[in-house]
Amino acid sequence: MNKIDPKWLNPRGRKVKILATVGPASRDPEMLERLVRAGVDAFRVNMSHGEHADHGETIDEIRKLEKQLGRPIAIFCDLQGPKLRVGKFKDGKAVIRHSGHFTLDRNPEPGDETRVQLPHPELFGLLDKGQRLLINDGKIRLRVIRADEDEILCSAEVGGVISDRKGVNVPDAEIPIPALTEKDRKDLAFAVQKGADWIGLSFVQRPEDLAEARKLMGGYGALCAKIEKPMAVRRLDEIIEMSDGVMVARGDLGVELNPEEVPPLQKQIVNKTRIAGKPVIVATQMLESMIESPAPTRAEVSDVANAVYDGADAVMLSAETAAGEWPEEAVAIMDRISAQVENDEAYLDRVRFLDTPPDRTTADALSHACMTIADTVNIAAITVFTGSGSTARRVARERPSVPMLVLTPSQRTARRLALLWGAHAVATKDIGSFEEMIAKGKRMALRHGFGEAGSKLIALAGVPFGTPGSTNLLHIVTLAGDELDNHEG
């Protein structure tokens, strides 16, 4: 086994996590390693592009890298979801006149400047007068004049060039199609077979959309609901309850909503997910200019910083690392922005401005106590012993001032927690007694850089050990310099 550089066992020095998308610019094993060393905590595999063979190689390389560096790396497989598209045109494209009429119909004949096929029968008879249809990421905006079982007659509020198979967004109606297509089911089966830690579900409109994916996952991995439809916002509380985490997918939200509506909605989604004690990811166009430029704009830096100030668990890079010219630099600047924000004296006040009252349970009360003790006593870290990760999520919800060392017997849990705020997870042997817990907590804290001789730690666990949901023990310990055992797992 390769000797592990001890510095990669240490915490990042920031609590927010970085999720980076893998693509042609970053698939090479050497680049994957450089991205992790620059700050990546989890990799997103976009199932909308590429073949299973390529994705499988990427996942295998990430697992090799994880073993080499000795720290869990989460793999987030992002499903494409259903895509509504127009049909084809006689010349491959046409021009829709501003303020002119344009019809979407069932006729499979190639379209022109007056009409085109809409090969989605579920939309006919569904739409009402006044509702919107957005084509090509909102570049063309249509308003429904009349809709029946065969035709949807529209007025072009914003016209322009339309070409074959451009995407259609329907922001004002709940579309009666499932969130999983046949392609998604195959991609999901592949992701589960490859041991993906997170599954991103696109096109979520209702909590029921999560049920089929959950069933197909068979208990493997965590399910992340991507909030990209206005319809999902209307049932946000239920969707959060049904998911293991949430992604604020601002790209599609920005198409279906007015631009000025997205920032307050982002904060609302982040806040509600945080209150539920589940990870929330802010995604899309965070450092967009770095696809081509080696430096971000000041506005992009502020955008990332605001997500960190809001208390997001993770921030995501998309094309910046998947296809951009400066993937490593994009990760490095996101790492620096996050660390700078967290070093701000006002940071804790900002992230705690949101009230996250503990539930009336022993586990929540002790998790809340960890935060207040860390604020009162000079604590180096909170050591959490957990099997499922639920105790770590409770502690993270409180946004404590010190990092969290999570010790778990489950490699799957350790990987999943790579997207949890403040968590440095370590897969290690299980414990069987209070004395063993204290001894192991001290050894692992010293080994992973959580304090030194004389530092105080909070230990949080449940007795009897190995019993899910039994968190009932909080203990403060002091590290001694001779307690590190290099042979202990």
Which entry of 14, 15, 17, 44 is annotated as an active-site residue? Answer: 44
What is the secondary structure of 358-371 as a DSSP string? PPSSHHHHHHHHHH
Q: Indicate if 440 belongs to the active site.
A: no
C-alpha dihedral (18, 311, 77, 336), degrees to nearest 10: -10
Q: Indicate if 284 belongs to the active site.
A: yes
Which entry of 37, 63, 64, 85 is annotated as an active-site residue? Answer: 85
Under DSSP, is residue 96 helix (H, G, I), strand (E, B) or coil?
A: strand
- Conformational region of residue 137, where left means phi above 0, alpha means psi within -120 to 50, and beta covers everything else: left
Under DSSP, is residue 439 helix (H, G, I), strand (E, B) or coil?
A: helix
Which entry of 21, 103, 284, 383 is annotated as an active-site residue? Answer: 284
E strand or H helix at 42: strand 42-46
Locus of tokens 């094309």: 319
C-alpha dihedral (229, 231, 236, 241), degrees to nearest 10: -90
Quote the CA–CA distance of 403 and 386 in Å, as a whole number. 16
Whether cis (ω within 30° of 0) applies to the bond prior to 464 is yes
Which entry of 226, 267, 274, 440 is annotated as an active-site residue? Answer: 226
Closest among 111, 67, 70 to 89, alpha carbons compared: 111
Q: Indicate if 44 belongs to the active site.
A: yes
Q: Where are the beta strands (DSSP E) in 219-373?
A: 222-227, 245-249, 280-283, 314-317
Quote the CA–CA distance of 126 and 159 in Å, as a whole number. 23
What is the phi/psi pair of residue 143, to 5°? -120, 130
Locus of tokens 């599954």: 199
Asked whether the beta carbons of 421 and 399 are under 8 A apart, the reply is: yes
Locus of tokens 């029921």: 208
Asked whether the beta carbons of 44 and 383 are under 8 A apart, the reply is: no
Asked whether the beta carbons of 138 and 255 are under 8 A apart, the reply is: yes
Positions marked active-site: 44, 85, 226, 284
